Amino acid sequence: MQTSAIGLLLTVLLAVSLTPALGRQSYNVFAPKTIRPNTDYFAAVAVEGTEGELQEVELKITGTTRTGQRIEIRESSRVPPGETQMVRLRIGELDDGAYTLEAEGTSPIQFKESTPLEYNGKGYSVFVQTDKPIYRPGNTVQFRVIVLSPQLKPTVTGSIDVQMRDGSGSLVREWSRVFTTKGVYAESVEISDKPVLGNWNISVDVNGQQFSKTFLVAEYVLPKFQVDVDLPVYATFRDKVTATIRANYPLGRPVKGTATVAVYPKYKSGYIQPIFDNPYRQTVDISGKVDIEFNLLKELSLTDDFDREIVFDVVVEEDKTRRRQNNTNSVTLYKYAYKLELIKTGDAYKPGMPYTCYLKISTQDGAPVFDDLNKVSVKSGFGSDTDSYSTVDYSVPEDGIIRLAFFAPKDNTANVLGIEAKYRDQSQWFSTIPSAISSSNNFIQARLATE
């Protein structure tokens, strides 16, 4: 059986495609244009018009490495008409060279096409890790090299070469032809007392692929004192917020100087964090500890439409040395000091059966509210007519959880259960609870016999 036309070679972006002109019989072969070592090569083969017969296809990658080694990798497949078959050619260690993909069909459609492939040598992912980013003279650099396969699994490859160079590029230490243990190679180097300062480098050669990691060797002074910023767990927009700033030396002796506080709201954005135009700043004297009170609603010109996270950036400057240390903390402002939550025992109620849910009253940090003076008003009912809902007042128990029990009407025309809760000056509608659906309009409910 012959094809209606000779195959046509077509290259699109990063794929190669082999197709004939339009006719009664056709074939298509799609495959990557790039070949990588240690990465399986997949090609998609599809045929049409073979009248139910399986198409015999052989894919072959041939070529010669730069060192003259001949490479040939082949795989055969039988492709049903009207379907796409994935053919995998297993690629192992592969050096740079000139390679060609050949596709040959023998029966019932006969074709033979080829196209050159591009070699990409990146077959491994290598990570170089150090125990810290900055070192002082005399410190010990501990590092490890992790070699991963293209499937991101630790791999045991051949030997690797590792070099460490100082800030001037001079070779400090070299490890030639060393082997990993389950994909990991670890070493340590002690830095001299008077090294070349700057960015040092660890480079790794894995089968001709180069990877590197830099770290800093510098003379630096550890902080002489510590700054802490204490804020309330939460606050409301109407509250005055007190920030407690502490500055102490390592043994607890207080720091004398000035503390400058910059306060601004934090924006939550999927893009770059915007800068608040007018942070509110205040500078005060400090001797170990100072309390600063803020009226954030007024000083930041905020509105209480939604919760806002407020950032406190604090810089303490020591009087005598003018040395500075800083720290940051934040507090979230809410419209109300408490929150109402509806805990459902089921996603839907069943007509003609009882339904129970729980109303939880807590502060914004999750602590239960106990209030023996104010009651919670719950308005609820079945159906969309909220004017027909009934209202019941509940006392707030010690755990802040109120049990709400309903008996759903058997008539399924009221298809939702609506609940509104009011506590002090806060009112909240919860998402409606739908009715369960049954084609026979019959339902069953199971309950524990004992608590």
Q: DSSP strand E in 66-208: where?
A: 70-79, 84-89, 97-107, 111-119, 125-130, 134-135, 140-148, 160-165, 171-178, 184-190, 198-206
75-123 residue pLDDT tens: 999 999 888 899 999 988 888 899 999 999 998 999 999 999 999 876 6
CA separation for the pair 232, 243 (Å, rounded): 8
> CA angle, corner 301, sides to 299 and 307, nearest 5?
105
Phi and psi, residue 296, nearest 5°: -65, -35
pLDDT classification of 12: cutoffs 50, 70, 90 = very low
More confidently predicted of 152 and 178: 178
Looking at residue 219, what is its pLDDT?
86
Which helix or strand (DSSP H or E) is residue 299 part of?
Answer: helix 296-299
Which pLDDT value is given to residue 222? 61
384 has pLDDT over 80: yes
The percent of residues in the chain predicted with pLDDT above 70, rounded, is 91
Residue 52 DSSP code: T
Helix (H), strand (E) counts: the chain: 1, 34
Instruction: Name the residue type at position 369.
Output: V
CB–CB of 77/89 below 8 Å? no
Residue 277's pLDDT is 58
Q: What is the CA angle 47-51-56, rounded to 5?
A: 50
Write out the two tokens for 348: 């839907």
How far, in Å, CA of 138 to CA of 140, rounded? 7
User: Please, which pLDDT band fits residue 2 given cuts at 50, 70 and 90?
Assistant: very low
Residue length, the chain? 451
Give the residue carrying structure tokens 């260690």.
Answer: 93
- Output the pLDDT for position 251: 83
pLDDT at residue 161 tops 80: yes
Residue 383 CB: number of other CB atoms within 10 A? 15
The per-residue pLDDT for 4 is 30
Query: How far is the C-alpha of 165 from the C-alpha of 202, rounded, in Å?
Result: 7
pLDDT, one tens digit per residue, over 223-251 is: 689 999 999 999 999 999 999 999 999 88
**In the predicted model, what is the mean pLDDT of residues 119-135?**
87
Q: CA-to-CA distance for 26 and 23, rounded, in angstroms?
A: 7
Per-residue pLDDT reduced to its tens digit, 293-309: 999 999 988 887 788 89
343 pLDDT exceeds 90? yes
The pLDDT > 90 percentage for the chain reads 62
Convert the pLDDT of each residue in 243-297 to its tens digit.
999 999 988 899 999 999 999 998 755 444 555 557 899 999 999 999 999 999 9
Give the mean model confidence (pLDDT) for residues 363-367: 91
Q: What is the mean pLDDT of the chain?
A: 87
Q: Which uninterrupted H or E stretch holds 293?
A: strand 289-294
CA-wise closest residue to 215 among 160, 161, 139, 146? 139
Q: Is the pLDDT of residue 440 over 60?
A: yes
